[in-house]
Structure 1
Amino acid sequence: MGNPLKEFLFFSRGERRGILVLIAGIVLLFLSGYFYTLLHDRRELSEEEKREQTAALREYDGFIRSVHRPARTPLHDKGQYAAHPEEVAVPVPFDPNRADSITLRRAGLPAWIARNILRYRSKGGRFRKTENFRKVYGLTEEQYRTLAPYIYFTAEDSVRETASLYRLPQAGKDSIYKYPAGTVLDLNRADTAELKRIPGIGSGTARLIAGYRQRLGGFYRIEQLQDIHLDYQRLQEWFTVAPSEVRRINLNRTGTERLRHHPYINFYQAKAFTEYRKKRGKLHSLKPFALYEEFTEADLERIGHYVCFE
């Protein structure tokens, strides 16, 4: 009995020719496409085609840039991440006599106003008190009122202001009375008028303390004055702190925008809180976030003083 597979695969001479012709036709079809593309690419494009190609490449580049956002940059001293690239500038404490252009931009000033300040300083100009900052060319009154609480002066820049304030009232002169040694104020309740009566604290520093206290929701310890570059050791004899005065943020009701404006919570941490709440429900503590790369142990410790879970 013959092999049925051999009989099935047997082709006559005419059939073999037909198969070869079919294969040759398929090869020629593929090669023709290749040669057409090669010749078409070598053809010089018209002006209209060049414009269309340029527009398409520009649109593609824009899409790629929108997909590849800048990576988060760790802040080595705090173990946190840099602010979100698109978030609105939030004022930060700064010394107008020493701040560089980056610090001035972070404070919320436009680049051209920052350049005006640097140019003024390069010509020998100095800011002696907070009110002088109002005269910066291009600065609006609204911008000045927003930034005034965050302006401070280092010791050598504020000697004149401090010396002029550190005196007892004199007849016929407008002066500020300073508290005697042994006076103690509640750091969370003292207004700017009371703060200015502490020896060594002028108008700018008083506004800086009050402004930062408002953003925090209150101080829970005197050492927090370091956050705004103040020497807490020199001031601690004048203040007491009541942690019960701190205003807390409800993590189960507050949105990302409100959370990220707290000085101790950055954008990525605020996002972690709200995303966790959406996926797993009501929060009861900060313990789950100990495993998140966005938080360090120090972050969770200080944030814990400002949040609640009602």
Structure 2
Amino acid sequence: MWKDFFYYSRSERRVILLLLGLLVVLATFWAVCRITEPPGQTYQEDSAEIDSFLASVKQRELDYTKRRYTKVRGKEQPEAVLAVFDPNTADSFQLRKLGLPSFVVRNILRYREKGGRFRTPEAFARIYGLEEKQYLLLRPYIRIQEVDDRSGFPQAQEEKAFLASVQRIEKYPEGTLVSLNEADTAELKRVPGIGSGIARMIVAYRNRLGGFTHVEQLQEIPHVDTCLNKWFVAKGVPFRKIRVNKDGLDKLRNHPYMDFYKAKAILEYRRKRGHIKGLSRLSLFEEFSEKDLQRLSPYLSFE
């Protein structure tokens, strides 16, 4: 029975052969067209598409960069208003008004806070983040005040008046001894060679220490010379000590002779083994050197 499905008459076989011949001719024609097609045409079309895509990507990157520098926290950055300024005295508002990015303004202020000073416009150009194009735009507007070589400060009239008022403070005569642990800033300023700034630093460091145990600790304060030691005497014991078995991490590491790792070692020992009974136990900690223990011993309480 299945042979009946494959039985064709003579006319049907002719039609089938004709169709097969047409398919062969069409396939041959298509193959010849593919072979004779110019080899660079497809490549050129693909290359054009790739170039177009890369151009669009580059344009998006440029647009993003432009938005990044023209927007600050979602707000349009105001148009720069160029005016004469001194990079040593201009505040953040003035610097931002000149068109400087916020991170460059922060770098300028941090540099000044650490005692840095721009002595020439070229020194200002070296601030981190300031682009050369922006510096060249601001260069004609930079005005740096002259500096007194003796004091290192601008010779503004108000500062001269301030220095004169400081000099009018009645100073102690030679041979006077001041209690280092009891003197306030007013009394400290009466010591020759001590002004408001150093007086405040001495009081602040004394509060962090818990009291001076010897006069030589003054040299641990920046800008305090040994010539000032002759004016002071350290009396009594520290008025505040480190409670080794009670204080938390912040109080422990806030002391000038401690740090995070020393404080962490104490807390870990307390958590695992309980109270620390004395200085000899701390000497077993690798975080504490012999010098550390000598400096800390007057300030430690093991109650």
TM-score by length of 2: 0.48
Greater Rg by CA: 2
TM-score by length of 1: 0.47
Per chain length, whose mean CA-contact separation is higher, i.e. which structure has more relative contact order (CA < 8 Å, sep 6+)? 1
